Copies of this chain bind each other. A is one copy, B any other.
């Protein structure tokens, strides 16, 4: 169920994605939200950190976990600009996040067509502000090709 709060938090995830863009990283951003407050933020930093784990979702989960002092993020929502990959979807499940909201789909690396069964207890909303999220990716790859 998309609502005003959803848009507000997706805009924050887009702010994070723009941080990645400025660092020449694939522009993906994420926030973890609990009771209407942002607990954790993250943007993709794979190249800068030389780590495949440094995806936006993982960075946001680690940041929220540190703030809470608990790796169990039950009741939290994760907003991310792009459909999570397999690894990040696994981390979302392991963290016991209750709701996942993502912007644009990622047919090549996204989880949705690669899992046999979606987990119970995780609400998923897709396509929120998808155009904005996708345009940011499009601009990034256009710039990359021109280099």
**Is A22 positioned at the interface, with any CB of B under 8 Å from its CB?**
no
Chain A residues 19-52 with CB under 8 Å of chain B are: 46, 50-52
**Is A91 positioned at the interface, with any CB of B under 8 Å from its CB?**
yes
Q: How many copies does the complex hold?
A: 2
Once the chains bind, are B86 and A89 in contact (CB under 8 Å)? yes
A-B contact pairs, 16 of them (CB 8 A): A50-B71, A52-B71, A53-B61, A53-B91, A86-B87, A86-B93, A87-B87, A87-B90, A87-B91, A88-B90, A90-B90, A113-B116, A114-B115, A114-B116, A114-B117, A116-B116
Q: Which residues on B sit within 8 Å (CB–CB) of A53?
A: 53, 58, 61-62, 91
Once the chains bind, are A65 and B91 in contact (CB under 8 Å)? no
**Is A85 positioned at the interface, with any CB of B under 8 Å from its CB?**
yes
Q: Tell me, rounded to whole Å, the shortest Cβ–Cβ distance linking A96 to chain B.
A: 9
Q: Tell me, rounded to whole Å, the shortest Cβ–Cβ distance linking A111 to chain B.
A: 8
Q: Which residues on B sit within 8 Å (CB–CB) of A93?
A: 86-87
Q: How far is B125's CA from A53's CA once the two chains are assembled, in angstroms?
A: 24
Q: Which residues on B sit within 8 Å (CB–CB) of A91?
A: 52-53, 87
- Contact flags (1/0) for A42-78 with B, using CB distance below 8 Å? 0000100011110000100110011001110000000
**Is A95 positioned at the interface, with any CB of B under 8 Å from its CB?**
yes
Task: Report which residue of A52, A94, A117 has the largest number of chain B beta carbons within 10 angstroms of its beta carbon.
Answer: A52
Q: How far is B90's CA from A115's CA once the two chains are assembled, in angstroms?
A: 12
